[in-house]
Amino acid sequence: MNKTPYRAILDYYWDAKTKYSLHSPFVFDFHNTVMKVQASDSKIDAIEHERNTFLDDKSEISFVEYGAGSKNSNGLTRVVRDVAKSSLSGKWQCRMMYNLIKRYRPNTILEIGTSLGVSTAYLAAASSDSSIITLEGNPASADRAISLFDKLDIQNIKLIEGEFGDTLIKSLDTLTHVDCAFIDGNHRKQATIDYFNTIRAYCDSSSFIIVDDIYWSEGMHSAWCEIINHESVAFSIDLFRFGIVYFDHSIMEKQHYKLIEAKWKLWSVGIFG
């Protein structure tokens, strides 16, 4: 039975483990590397400066969106700062994904949902040797993202504009193999599951898939639960804002970890989780 977002969020905080209760070497390393927020570097500072520029931008762009929440937006205009507030992955999440890419160095990365390009820039900055394809359905957002990549002098991103149903398979055939994918483009349950099933056919045991906003709605959380229970998934890590699924069954028996920093666990179930 599907849980409401409110109940699912309470379950997350209750079940989430801190580093003090982790026994898996892989997950313990993940906590100490991916979840450790170190001092910003010049790349991150430059990207965050551009994020703030978007957040201050009162100009309007045309907007066509195909995902959840788009019923009243097609063919209209939106203020850039409103797009930035509602569509960009937050600084903490971007930093976690930056650490993730820096730690595991995937050769190929596919992103579904570029928006204004901030999360894409983080992925690219974390590993300049990675080849990144990012898909965006809204032409005006794609233009802003391309301008951002040029301004930051990022060379390892290829942006493909168009509806995801038309561009995803073509992009996957270009890559032939996906080491990492970030699904953040259509917050509907079935679309998210379909993207996962399509992408996993191009993955192997070393690949991992990031799913955004897994507690955004009952449908998204239901999609996440269905994904992590798929027979191809070896184990998963839930960081609340997003989740990651892995396909290497040799690392551990099938388990699903919910992780949290000890300081956020303190108020609910004690500092040691």
Task: Tell me: pLDDT of 171 over 70.
Answer: yes
User: What pLDDT digit, counting tens, does each position of 122-148 carry?
Assistant: 999 999 999 999 999 999 999 999 999
Q: How confident is the model at residue 182 (pLDDT cuts 50, 70, 90)?
A: very high
Reply yes or no on whether the pLDDT at 273 is more than 50: no
Specify the 3-state DSSP secondary structure of 75: coil
Whole-number Å distance between alpha carbons of 223 and 217: 10
**Domain spanning 5-269, CATH class:** alpha beta
- What is the tens place of the pLDDT at every residue in 52-104? 999 999 999 998 766 554 444 455 889 999 999 999 999 999 999 999 999 99
- 10-62 tens-digit pLDDT: 888 889 999 888 999 999 999 999 998 776 789 999 999 999 999 999 999 99
Distance separating alpha carbons of residues 105 and 207, to the nearest angstrom: 11
pLDDT at position 3 over 60: no
Mean pLDDT of the chain: 90
pLDDT at 41: 85
Strand-strand pairing, 208-212 and 242-246? antiparallel
Res. 248 pLDDT band, cuts 50 70 90: very high
Distance CA 133, CA 168 (A): 10
Taking a C-beta distance cutoff of 8 angstroms, is the pair 132, 123 a contact? yes
Give the Cβ contact number of residue 22 at 10 Å.
18
Type of residue found at 59 = S
Q: Is the dihedral of CA 204, 208, 212, 216 positive or negative?
A: positive
End-to-end CA distance of the chain: 26
pTM: 0.91
